[in-house]
Structure 1
Amino acid sequence: MTKREITELSYAITGCAIRVHKNLGPGLLESVYEKCLKYELEKEGFMVQQQLNVELFYDDLIIDTALRVDLFVNNLVVIELKTVERIMPVHEAQLMTYMKLLVAPQGLLINFYTDNISKSLRALVNDFFKILPP
């Protein structure tokens, strides 16, 4: 896997999110957007895991938590969906933690409570991305 391939995947995911937003508009529940985005992604041929349980390891403990990732695409890109007036730093921190726990190189924070998905979407990368070839 390369940085370019991850970036292309993220662009494709963004296109699917834009389609969902154009069809539904803002103001619905996060779960509605999640189901529709999963449908769009699968139509494009991507492998999508929804509400994926994230195991938390601490030292030699496996901690049973209620951590769930909204969508995980091709085992590479974590998608965290929001329907909030404003994205907060805690939302980015949450996504970065999910990326670390899943060993995923990129994450997308998508807020559907907006008039323009492209302007509000945040793409985050971590050290797993940085070590990939161009």
Structure 2
Amino acid sequence: MEKEVSVVEALKGFMSEMRDWETAFRDEQMSLIDADKDTSDCDKKYEPELKRILTKFSVSDERSWARLVDLGCGSPPTYDPERDVISKPVQEGKNYTVVVEQMARLKAVYKFVLKNTENGWLIVRKETKNGDKWKKAAL
């Protein structure tokens, strides 16, 4: 039970920091767009913070970290641990899987796989449910 709580807390930490990052990034982007100004400096400003979050909460992987190539943001934000439904972790070997149901936007269903490392629980991958299949997705 203690491991399950740690897994959920790690995932909630990721979701919270991503929500805050995406909200701040979107707000600044929209303010620049509304003022008919270039947004490239905004991208440069927010990219290092996104990389810090990904480094803190996940294992480096080209597909998982693809968001660094194309900084995406939306309203409402993709992740929100207070809004979304987070299922009980399921152990699969040494890893844990947690399904998260998004309660806004497209109401997507995500599956996160986390593993215990010397740096705590880290996200190994995220998958999005498409019909009855899971497809690997960027964080």
TM-score (norm 2): 0.34
Q: Which has the higher helix share?
A: 1
- Which of 1 and 2 has greater Rg? 2
